[in-house]
Structures are given as C-alpha cells and as structure tokens.
Structure 1
Amino acid sequence: MKKKQKCAYPGCDETQNGTWALVPLCKNHLTEIRAETAMHYRKSIRYHEREHYLKIAVRIPWSQVNMGVYD
C-alpha cells in the first residue's frame, strides 16, 4: 500500500486526506479552502482575501504560471 503524504499547507504535519488543485492537504485544510473558495465565488471575499488558498497557490501549477514562475 502506498504511504500517504503529509499535508502541504505551511506549518501542518497532518496526513494528507485529499487534494486541492493537485496539492495534498489534510481534512481540516481541505475544508477551510473549500469554504473560502465558496465565499470567493459568491463574491463575499476577493481573491487577495483568500488567506488559505494563497498559502498553497505557489504549489499549484496553473497559479505558478499566473504568478510568472514559468515564462
């Protein structure tokens, strides 16, 4: 059986429970990012207010492209 990865959220040592945009996350961080994303798409918060998402954005391939990591 394949060993699960650790959560990739900064400072978290929990075991991965799933992924968000290809980033392994624990159950709590998945829940937080899903709720935050729902608020963003309901226009309750703006992109720059997505505290949890922005902490993992550097690990998301398409976010890296948008941030200019890849030319």
Structure 2
Amino acid sequence: MKACYPGTFDPITNGHLDIIERASRLFDEVVVLIMVNPRKTCLFNSEERKQMVIDSLKSISNPENVT
C-alpha cells in the first residue's frame, strides 16, 4: 500500500521526518510531494527543497519517492 505526504517542506523539519519515518513503517511506499503554496514566501526554491528532503531521508530504511 502507498501513502502520499504533501507539503512545502521549507525547510524540512524533524517533525516532517518523524511523520515520514512512521509512515514508512506502516506503508510499502511513501511518496513525498514538494508543493508550492502561492500564499507563502519560500526560503528555498523547489529544487533546493527536493534535495534537502532526499538528503534527509537517507537514514530511513525503505526508499521514498520525492516529487
């Protein structure tokens, strides 16, 4: 079973990582979606946020898709 976790992740926090780690134990695959919120001024662009998420998830056992 798959799970989807959308967010701006600007930046990704320990709280986000905790949710992803818990979901990875419950689901076969966790898809992390990097979203854009037009009402929010982001500190990092989408590519930077994507790379931060990828780098932060290296310690989690089953790989996630980051989009």
Structure (1 or 2) with the greater helix fraction: 1
TM over 0.5: no
TM-score, structure 1 length as denominator? 0.30
Structure (1 or 2) with the greater strand fraction: 2
TM-score, structure 2 length as denominator? 0.31
Which fold has the larger relative contact order, with Cα–Cα distance below 8 Å and residues 6 or more apart in sequence?
Answer: 2
